[in-house]
Amino acid sequence: MRTDSAQISVESQQKLVAARLMATFLGATLVANAYLGPALFGISVDTAGLSALCGAILLGAPVIFGSVKSLVYGRLHMQELVALAVIACFALEDYKTAGIVAFIMLCADLVQSRTALGARAAIEGLIRLTPTRARKISGSGGVVEVDALSLSAGDIIEILAGDNISADGIIEKGTATINEASITGESIPVEKRQGDPVFAGTINLDGRIEVQVTRAGEDTTLGKVKKLIMSAEQTKVPIMRIIDSYVTWYTPVILMVAGIILYFTRDMNRAVTALVVTCPAALILAAPTAVVAALSCCARLGILVKNVRNLEIASNLNALIFDKTGTLTTGELSVTKLNPVESTPDSAERLLAVAGAVAEHSTHPVSRAVAQMAKKAQVSVSKTEDIQEQAGLGVKGIVDGKEVILGKKEWLAANSVAVIECRTQSQTDGLSIIYVAYDKKFIGWIGLEDNPRKEAKSATEQLYDIGIKKIIMLTGDRESVAKKVADNLGCREYKAQCLPQEKLDMVNDLKNKGYIVGVVGDGINDAPALAAGDIGIAMGAAGSDIAIHSASISLMNNDLLRLPFIVKISRKTRSVIYQNLAFGLIFIIAGLIAAGLGYLNPVMAAVLHNLGAFAVIFNSARIVRFGEELT
């Protein structure tokens, strides 16, 4: 009865469901005619019987053919039991019952198919928002409407107020208010100006902008998100794999029980009823419906789950390791102090100039902050050659024929430069310090500050409240900076001056102690640690291919309150699955007993069976609106 949805588009499946629905109701009309025809229209008993036979064939054929197809391919599903019940009714020449049972089961199957399609279509609706056309600005300045898929990196497109943005890119001209809810899950629009990134599928609420395309089509952030969500739907939590492993035993056991009922009661009706009522729809739907609802909820809030197994792992998390910069803090470092060794009038300017010359060639947040300050101060920055960067330590290069070294004390020491104290240590407390050497001589340090995210303390408190036993902040900064940030956030454990390898060692140490460890970072500098944890959670993954692919779960925005939500929804999903399974088992056992005692007939069994399936679907559907307070 079911088609392989992985190979067919949602629209095609919807058309197929509509065609099957029409055939189902035609068969139902013929069966209804067999019941009502003699009384209302005076048709003969033979004619009524023929109408029932035709209706039963029309309704029963899809059930029987679907079961035969499953058996041919070595798969057992719930419809085999229904098919046997329908065949038994045909053998007893009870065509009306055969038609009614098949009709009810087909209707249930169609509703379940339509519900599943609706859930999948809802997910696609969140991520399939890229317009098919784009306004491309030609070399002469004119605007030409083109197919969005024909865009390539470097093209300039025009986005007017009210337009959906057709590709990822950088704003070249203009300002606008962009609704990025489809990517980040944030309902509050964001002000964008020249130099800011924009993403395909987001909406320009006001203003005209010109955007230089960086990625188009399936290469956009939205395209990658769509692929990963659709692939996540095909994955299974362990409980689903357990059900699959036992399904091959279920049908033979039920057949044996139905045979026992027939042997002791000599009543074929009871045996047929047992086959119908024990179709395990509730059991089969228990996990998939909950998982699809959870994925839909997460997608709505800008949470990208790569594999549904990660949801189950998240429910058991008891330790979280955070990177500081860009995760617990905004990552928007600003230079607040220049401390040159010399006290000449131009020493501070010279310190910033040589540091900025090297810093502009690094993508590290500290280097970016130094480069931005040099640009803002309009100091003269010389051309830099032979750039070398050491992760977690610093960067160096040749400026005007002299070597400039920018980074930690250890980086300068490794390059044979001694750091001398040029100011009292109290002046550096709470600041991130970067040291500068020029021509093998230490010339001063630069102090930077980074502010904690406003929701970080609340998120930390919530994580402790829901049972996370260890929350550890790791940072490459000095002890005073780490302590200040940890105290502000209520983080009980931290480790300062932490190198990338030490982050990995910390993750592995906690795992060896039996903790289920989640690692939270920006997905770029923290990729190795993210991969080492039981779950890696990348913050602010929108526009970052590395973040989307390196983490188990990617947050398309930087809202730390999504972290306790991930744990909560994973536990909620697990709870709903167990509720569904318990209900399904109790329903089947109770129905089997009632069938054996003769309290049910096949028609009543079919109705009750589907009521059980719908109860499971509706119970799972509650997850879709979970976490509405975050929108």
- Measure the CA dihedral 379/382/386/392, to 10°: 0
The lowest-confidence range among 160-169, 208-217, 516-525, 580-589 is 516-525
The active-site residue, picked from 94, 155, 168, 323, is 323
- pLDDT for residue 368: 85
- pLDDT for residue 490: 84
Residue 621 scores a pLDDT above 90: no
Residue 313 has which token pair? 């792992």
Say how far apart CA 89 and CA 102 lie, in whole Å.
Answer: 10
Contact criterion met (CB below 8 Å) for 325 and 475: yes
Who has greater pLDDT, 457 or 543?
Answer: 457
Q: If you average pLDDT over residues 236-261, what whole number do you get?
A: 71
DSSP summary character for residue 188? S
| Tens-place pLDDT, residues 316-341 | 999 999 888 778 887 677 888 888 88
- pLDDT for residue 103: 82
The region that residue 344 occupies, defined by phi over 0 for left and psi between -120 and 50 for alpha, beta otherwise, is beta
CATH of 303-329+452-568, one of 3.90.1170.50, 3.40.50.1000, 3.40.250.10, 3.40.50.720: 3.40.50.1000
Average pLDDT across the chain, whole number: 80
Contact criterion met (CB below 8 Å) for 373 and 356: yes
Q: If you average pLDDT over residues 163-175, what whole number do you get?
A: 89
Q: How far is CA 443 from CA 263, 336, 393, 446, in A?
A: 97, 17, 18, 10
CA 197 from chain centre, in angstroms, equals 22
User: pLDDT band at 245, cuts 50/70/90?
Assistant: low
User: pLDDT band at 199, cuts 50/70/90?
Assistant: confident
Among 366, 389, 370, 368, residue whose Cα is nearest residue 379:
370
Look up 94 and say whether it is catalytic.
Answer: no
The fold for domain 133-219 equals 2.70.150
Residue 228 scores a pLDDT above 80: no
Among 476, 482, 627, 467, residue whose Cα is nearest residue 559:
627
- pLDDT for residue 157: 92
Say how far apart CA 422 and CA 411 lie, in whole Å.
Answer: 18
- pLDDT for residue 437: 92
- pLDDT for residue 164: 84
Residue 176 has which token pair? 């606008």
- pLDDT for residue 628: 76
- pLDDT for residue 575: 93
Instruction: Estimate the crossing angle of helix 79-91 against helix 238-265, to 10 degrees.
Output: 20
- pLDDT for residue 526: 66
User: pLDDT band at 186, cuts 50/70/90?
Assistant: low
Contact criterion met (CB below 8 Å) for 204 and 167: no
Who has greater pLDDT, 462 or 380?
Answer: 462
Q: If you average pLDDT over residues 429-456, what whole number do you get?
A: 85
| Tens-place pLDDT, residues 78-93 | 567 778 888 888 887 8
Residue 162 scores a pLDDT above 90: no
What percentage of the chain exceeds 70 in pLDDT? 82
Residue 463 scores a pLDDT above 90: yes
Residue 163 scores a pLDDT above 80: yes
Q: What class does CATH assign to 334-449?
A: alpha beta
User: pLDDT band at 19, cuts 50/70/90?
Assistant: confident
Backbone phi, psi, residue 424, to 5°: -65, 150
The lowest-confidence range among 101-110, 144-153, 313-322, 597-606 is 101-110
Q: If you average pLDDT over residues 100-119, what whole number do you get?
A: 63
Who has greater pLDDT, 574 or 366?
Answer: 574
Q: What residues form DSSP beta bridges with 448?
A: 335, 432
Say how far apart CA 601 and CA 532 lie, in whole Å.
Answer: 57
Residue 476 scores a pLDDT above 60: yes
Q: How many CB atoms lie within 10 A of CB 395?
A: 24
Contact criterion met (CB below 8 Å) for 385 and 398: yes
Contact criterion met (CB below 8 Å) for 217 and 148: yes
- Measure the CA dihedral 66/71/72/74, to 10°: 130
Q: If you average pLDDT over residues 590-618, what whole number do you get?
A: 87
- pLDDT for residue 3: 38
* pTM for the whole structure: 0.66
What percentage of the chain exceeds 90 in pLDDT? 14
- pLDDT for residue 567: 94
